[in-house]
């Protein structure tokens, strides 16, 4: 099992560009989520999904879009990148639809927006 796989590991964008952060898991987890990690602020939830076709917003959803067409994949789209979106992004998954179980994390994507 690969667990949770995130790509790319590093990305530099210019303000206004768009991109998609990829996340895939091979554990058949129904619950998937995206967090951003900023210095001194811990991890903040961006969006989450409790199954294919079902997504919802977290604490800091503005500027991000998600979709969940399969159980395995949960991509995060930055629509028009801003310097405030410079951060480290983590995808995490857990079994069960309702969440609250042990989370399995990917290794992260370090994003810089210039």
Partner 1 sequence: SQQGEEDPQALSIQEGENATMNCSYKTSINNLQWYRQNSGRGLVHLILIRSNEREKHSGRLRVTLDTSKKSSSLLITASRAADTASYFCATVAPSGGYQKVTFGTGTKLQVIP
User: Environment class of residue 10 by beta-carbon count within 10 Å: exposed (0-12), middle (13-18) or buried (19+)?
Assistant: exposed
CA–CA dist 110, 99 (Å, integer):
25
DSSP collapsed to 3 states, 29-46: CCEEEEEEECCCCCEEEE
**Closer of 64 and 90 to partner 1 (Cβ):** 90
Under rule CB under 8 A, residue 74 binds partner 1: no
Under rule CB under 8 A, residue 100 binds partner 1: yes
CA angle 95, 66, 103 (to 5 degrees): 25
Under rule CB under 8 A, residue 46 binds partner 1: no
Under rule CB under 8 A, residue 40 binds partner 1: yes
> 63 to each of 32, 97, 106, how far by Cα in Å?
19, 25, 22
Under rule CB under 8 A, residue 107 binds partner 1: yes
Under rule CB under 8 A, residue 98 binds partner 1: yes
Under rule CB under 8 A, residue 105 binds partner 1: yes
**Least spacing, CB of residue 104 vs partner 1, in Å:** 7
Where does this chain bind partner 1 (CB under 8 A)? 4, 33, 35, 40-45, 48, 50, 56, 90, 92, 97-108
């Amino acid at each position: 099992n690969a667990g949770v796989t995130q790509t790319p590991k590093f990305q530099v964008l210019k303000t206004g560009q768009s991109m998609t952060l990829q996340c895939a898991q091979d554990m058949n987890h129904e619950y998937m989520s995206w967090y951003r990690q900023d210095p001194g602020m811990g991890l903040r939830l961006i969006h989450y999904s409790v199954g294919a076709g079902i997504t919802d917003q977290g604490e800091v959803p503005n500027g991000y879009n998600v979709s969940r067409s399969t159980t395995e994949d949960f991509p995060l789209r930055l629509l028009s990148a801003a310097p405030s979106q410079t951060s480290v992004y983590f995808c995490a998954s857990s079994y069960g639809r309702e969440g609250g179980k042990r989370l399995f994390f990917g290794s992260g994507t370090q994003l810089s927006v210039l």
